[in-house]
Structure 1
């Protein structure tokens, strides 16, 4: 929504409200402009961690070094497009017609395996429509997209934490943390919030091992946050966190676009809890 006066559109820095709390924290502030995050969220449903040629180093097949936004507002000063030289370049060489080796620089390429085509060919207009429809459903009322995109945009421990938090945001409930009000699960010793998220994940993916793996990853997360002595987080653990978060999102998209769709988020999560707690242990 544009400011109503032309001055505020041309020089917005002179028309801000000085009484605002400029140091406030927006809990789920976007990392990229909304259209970019929409596209990224859809792209991140693909199993990139299984088709990158260097998954031991990084599961991402692409980066977003900068975003250039254009506006059709005549009173807005148009920004200068970033220079291509700001992208990543690397040395390369080729042989010319005379057989001589010529050294050059080329844009850095992030290689994919041969399986990338078959694993990502579903990314079309139909998939885009399904993801957008799912995000409007009750199942996606939580900040799931925020943490998935945050994991993509982060590195190191912050990436790992964002993936685990994406699963918590998707499948956790406030009542899970209240032993007095949450219903007891018959025949189960573990009754805490973490176990309940693990049960829901197992049911959502129809895979008891997924819930067990989530518990292991969550322990790594807790050891870090609570200052426990811990070793380096291995590349396999990093990939497992990304894989579980992606599988969770894809299953939620499927559930949200099913017929009939879940009537409410609470009912949906309660049903997952009951199914997951009844599954056999791996």
Structure 2
């Protein structure tokens, strides 16, 4: 297949490139190739590319900055996905779009299902919700995959930011009262491939799914796992302290609880999604492997 993947340097996009690259022809688009905020350009661009599958891994992910940069966040996260989904429907090709746990307000204390009513607390969350609603309204063979706390061993993410700060600072305070599921990007990519393969042969797979690693932790718990590995390597410098959201104010309000129930997607996938700690071990092993090679 000729597959178009957006969001060239993002965590999910990189993992998708590795997952699909050995068996398919890829066209990977970054902002310099196609600015998704310029929605009037999308139709002409995709007429020229003529893809067999579109994986939209691009997103405006600067959660706090979005509070001021509303227009661009809405263009990339809301309007562009709907247009891409409409283009895919017109061509009768599969379309995969990724959304966020931040569409929920975090007042629940058990994992959110796909039937739970979203109530985003931020511009980012509202724009992601609008995007997934637009994709689903467009119809066609579309998949919307809500995920959470995405990370990998390379690129910009909490995992790598914490590795750097814990090795450089004397102390670090991380919020302990926000709970979710750290989700390894390669797991998202593998599940995407499996879902697309089924989507190409079955009519019962489209729609909205939650897709995260199993289990839950806090941002502090995630940071503590990173600190433990750094300590084993003799690279830990900072003392790590828990704090609360109240004592760490940010421009955008984040949900205190955003765990997602993934039983719907697990009924379709060939196996259960791994626990976050198991994938954390795999991510660290890949980091160590890259260090050895370099």
TM-score by length of 2: 0.22
Whose helix proportion is higher, 1 or 2? 1
